[in-house]
Structure formats: C-alpha cells, structure tokens
Structure 1
C-alpha cells in the first residue's frame, strides 16, 4: 500500500516536471521565433534601396507622411515614459507598417520633430540591433543624491551609482554600490519610502533602461556581480558634470582627480564634436 502511494506521488512529480520542461521549451521556442521575426523585420529595413524608396515615396502625400511621423513620435514617447529603449524592428512592425519603404525619411523627420518640438534627441545606442533611446542631457542636482529628497529621487539614486562607478574606474563590484547607499541611509535590504525595493530598481529598472549594466563575474563562488555604465548613460550623462558634482560633495577641485578629469574632458570634447556633424 505504501509502495503504491509513493509510486502515485512519484508519477505526479514526474508529470509536473514534464509539464515544466515542456512549458520552458515552448517559451524558449516562442522567444527564439520572436527574435527571428525581429531580425527579419530589421533585415527588411536594411534591404530597401534608395530607388525603391523614391518610387514608394510617390504613393504617399505629405499629409499622410506627417500623420505617420506623428504616430511614430507618439509610439516612442509612450515607450520613453518608462525609459524603455525602442527597437527599429518594433517601430516598423507596430507603427510604420506599409510605409516601410520610406522608413528612412520617416525616421529623419521623427528625429527633427523631437529636436525642434521637444528639445530631445533620438539616439541609436546599439548600431548592431538598431536600438534607440530619447536623451535629454541630464545634469545632477548637487543636494538631491545626498538627501534623496522628493522631486525626482530616482535621478538622485542613479547619479550616486553612476558617480561611484565612474570614480572607481568604470567597473565595480555590487557590494561597493550597496555599501555606498547604506552610508547615505538607503539600505538595499529594506523597503524605501520613495524607491520601494532598492535592488530591484537598480538591477532591473536601471538595467532595462540601459543606464547601467549588471553582469556576473566569471568563476566566482558564491556568484558575484559587477556594475558598469550602460549605453544610455554614455549618451545622456555628462561625465564632466558628474565630476563637478562629486567635487562639490567632497569640497574639492574636480581636476584633483587627474585620471577622471582627463577621461571626462575627452568624453565632453567627443560629445560636442558628434553634435556638430
């Protein structure tokens, strides 16, 4: 009787495992198919020739194109509310659709619209996968990160983390980030009034928004992770302004950090050069 009971329980466990494996495989297959669909969508953009675009342009009036530009702008703005990067393939699939042959003209107009109307810049942060973000040059508010006052507290939290990474050479172990926040009375192990789950905000939200990268360090037991600046931060945050902010915090001349000042000045020069092209 006992043996039958254990066999019955074992059959249930095996059945549950099979279902779990099947569900995982199905999810993986759907994800792979989705990635293939996105690659196909992106390939369609790249294969359009200038002559094809010119012929397709004759099928649409200026008013039609203006409306499509407005739709793309709205689509990107909605994504940007949560700082979600936008894939070119998604813009084509969900918005541009039958206007795909003239996507280059539409995206050019979209970029112009963002700069002229919103004072924002649409930047391609990943040229391989054609991923875009809206940037608006962020500048730290000196008192905000220290006290974490209301207003835009997550910006303050972000600047503290980016400052620590930058001052420590661009790559730091996660424990250093958590210890720094504890010194500012923001304990990652406790629920914060403004941020909620600190670790989730930093390792999930900021990572998804491409402000930071959070990666496992190979061959560590127990597993350790490290932080780096993300692609959006490289485009959006001025390292020179960040260094000035750190200088104010410690009441020091930014140039006293020789290596960081040199890196920040070079980054600023390169950024200004790219804006003049």
Structure 2
C-alpha cells in the first residue's frame, strides 16, 4: 500500500507548472531568470574571447546563435551584456563600419563588433596599467594615424614610407613592414589601390587610410592631442588650428578653435592635400 503523501506527490508532478518570467527594466520576458543570465554571460564571454582571436571581432549572428530559439531577446541581451562589460571589464562592444572618415558617403554598420576601452584617459595614461611591449606598437600606430589624418584622411603608401625613412624606422629586417601588415590585419589601417593607371595600364599607387577598428577605438581629438604633445612647449600657437585645417575636421574641435570648416583644395591629388602639414 502507498502512503497518502505518495499520492499527493504524484498529483503535484502532474499539476500544471507556472511559467516564471524575467523582468529586465520595464520589459517582461518569457524566459527563466537563470536562462537569461546564462545568455548574458555567454555574450560577454564570447565578446572577450573574440577580442583575442585572429579577427579580433564578434559578429551579430554569433551572439544570436547563443540564444537558440530566443533570438527576439537579442537587443535586451546585447544591452545587458554591454552593461556588464562596462561595469566589470571597463570595455564595450563598438560596431565596425565600412567607410573611412574621408569621402562624402556616410559610414555603414557591418553588424560586427570589437571591444574598446571605456576607462578614463587619465587612468589609461597612469602607471596603474602596465602596457608592457604594447607601447611601441601603440606609439607607431599613433604616428601613422597622425600622418594620415593631417592629409585629410588618406596618404600614399610611398609617401608614408618616406616619413618612415625620415624617422629612421626603415631597416633591412623589414620590421616596419611586419608592423604595417599587423595593423592592416587587425583593421587599424586600410589599404587600397588607386583607380588611375599608368601608360602600361597597371595601377601604380596604393592609398592608406584609417581602418574600421581605428575609427571605432580612437577619437580624432586624441590624435590632435598626441600631435600637440609631440611638438611640446615649442609648438606654435596656431598648431591646433593648423592640424584641424590639414585634417579637414568638422567637429567641436574646429568650432572651439575658430578654424571653421576647412575648404577642400581644388585639383589636389588624393593623399597629397595642400593642407597637409609635415610632422
């Protein structure tokens, strides 16, 4: 014979179960709280791991794949993962774009994200963080981005190498070429062939621009400040105004310094604007 308690237990097992919901802000989601938390953790983990991969980026579809049949939760999970990344890691996901800052076409999103720091600049520059051997690469990248920026966002690769020679960065070992390849691979730089041809019908020059990752990670104002620091106390009073004009910047930086919108030079070849200044 079975006890009465056993009968009651069997009845409980067959009784309809209440579906628990998760409340996120003002949204009520038809998913268990522990499942939603798992989605958020998985998205954060994927973003962090992807930042150390060869591509260094995570795709929207990769995050959606974590959600299984709950793809409608993508926006809510993404926002919560962003909050977790900022509060715990001091980072956030930034979408890469398909167009550079030069040209008239607006930038378009690629649904691909990289991690960028949200830490204040004074903390990044303090001795609290040990950049180890990354400082050399960061310095070289800032020099390259500066040279590109003050030529209205594009420079001939041959002109860039001329600057490398002046700065005594060229060597027989080809280390600077390896660094350039690394910056291109990590999408800090973009390189493309020119459309005009020589007499033999072959393309003769390459252009170098800021890459999608540089546009997402590095504010132009930071590069302006970097150039000012390079010049140091001997810098002319009009240095910032000259940088803004040479860069053809249209931002609060321009307005604050009274430089106005820099006019494009008619007939100036791409990558060798007459507004360019020599560093």
Q: TM over 0.5, yes or no?
A: yes
TM-superposed deviation, 1:128: 4.2
1:91–1:65 Cα change, 3 Å: same
Q: Quick one: distance in 2 between partners of 1:267 and 1:206?
A: 28
Tell whether 2:157 aligns with 1:174: yes
Structure 1: where are the runs of 5+ without partners? 1-53, 143-148, 193-197, 271-277
Tell whether 2:208 aligns with 1:237: no
Show the counterpart of 1:162: 145
1:191–1:128 Cα change, 3 Å: closer
Mark the structure with the bigger radius of gyration: 2
Show the counterpart of 2:93: 122
Alignment partner of 2:209: what SS? strand
* TM-score, with length taken from structure 2: 0.62
5 Å matches for 1:183-262?
Answer: 183-187=166-170, 190-192=173-175, 198-203=176-181, 205-220=182-197, 221-250=202-231, 251-253=234-236, 255-261=238-244
Kept in 1: contact 2:228–2:240 (CA 8 A): no
Structure 2: where are the runs of 5+ without partners? 1-26, 98-107, 126-131, 256-279
Kept in 1: contact 2:114–2:213 (CA 8 A): yes
Point out the structure with the larger helix share: 1
Show the counterpart of 2:51: 80
Kept in 2: contact 1:125–1:232 (CA 8 A): yes
1:98–1:268 Cα change, 3 Å: farther
1:176–1:97 Cα change, 3 Å: farther
Cα deviations across residues 185-233 of structure 1 (Å, max 9, x unaligned)?
Answer: 32265243xxxxx324324x32333322111111333531111112222
Count of matched residue pairs: 202
Superposition CA RMSD, Å: 3.3
* TM-score, with length taken from structure 1: 0.62
